[in-house]
Amino acid sequence: MRVNLLVGGPVGLVPQEVVRARQAETWIAVDHGASLLLKWGITPAVAIGDFDSTSQAEFARLRQHLAEIETFPPAKDFTDTQLGVKLAIDRFQPTQIDIFGATGGRLDHLLANLYLPLQDDFRDYLDRIRLLDRGNTVSYYRPGSYTITKEADKDYLAFVNLTPVTGLNLVDEQYPLADWSSSIPFSWSSNRFTAAENHFNFASGVVAVIQAADQPQL
């Protein structure tokens, strides 16, 4: 089963049409994401967080409409997004976790969310976690050989090693790469598909693959 999370990033970067199309699926709302989901006609299974970005009036409305709210103090060991992902794993053991609202806004939040799947609490689920916004889909890969399928609305393709990597090969992308290794993170950006499906492989490390589109001005 797929579990969706909506966290409290800039609402303008959330693909509302995708969120609304998943109304019947399981949702976990993180902090202000709970108010947004209710506004869009979706009742999350759980709302979780410190709710420091939710007004008292909004929180009272959440209590009226939601069966379960888990609250935490602002000073805690995990971010609200981490708490939401931990809840998804512990309660649902999903085959896929899609996180919306995790990009944009503060750069430190973006980096925390980008590197979240590498942390010990989430690493077993690394290749089941994706970050999605209006113009980007971020997927995570362990060493191996892969076929990736082009998303219809995405024009660009990037390969980002988040850890040291060895033996990275971009086999049939527009800009190929052969047996590349690096001891530091690096982004091979602005690549493109040459067909509906392309291929890559690598020997060690963790690689994020980003399918991206130019985004209109908000």
Pairing of strands 144-149, 197-202: antiparallel
Question: What is the pLDDT, as a whole number, of residue 216?
Answer: 55
Question: What is the pLDDT, as a whole number, of residue 9?
Answer: 82
Residue 146 has pLDDT above 90, yes or no: yes
Phi, psi of 66 (to 5 degrees): -110, 140
Question: What is the pLDDT, as a whole number, of residue 93?
Answer: 97
42-55 tens-digit pLDDT = 999 999 999 888 88
Q: Tell me if residue 104 falls in helix, strand or coil.
A: coil
| Number of other residues whose CB lies within 10 A of the CB of residue 131 | 26
pLDDT (mean) for 113-141: 97
Residue 88 has pLDDT above 80, yes or no: yes
Question: What is the pLDDT, as a whole number, of residue 84?
Answer: 97
Percent of residues, the chain, with pLDDT higher than 70: 99
7-24 tens-digit pLDDT = 988 899 999 999 999 999
Question: What is the pLDDT, as a whole number, of residue 106?
Answer: 85
Going along the chain from its start, the domains and CATH numbers come out as: 2-134 (3.40.50.10240), 140-212 (3.40.50.10240)
Spatial distance between the Cα atoms of 122 and 103, rounded to a whole number of angstroms: 18
Considering only CA atoms, which of 188, 187, 185, 186 is closest in space to residue 177? 188
- Amino acid making up residue 101: G
Question: What is the pLDDT, as a whole number, of residue 94?
Answer: 98
Question: What is the pLDDT, as a whole number, of residue 53?
Answer: 80
Provide the edge-to-edge strand list for the sheet that holds 197-202: 144-149, 197-202, 165-170, 177-182
Residue 1 has pLDDT above 90, yes or no: yes
Residue 217 has pLDDT above 70, yes or no: no
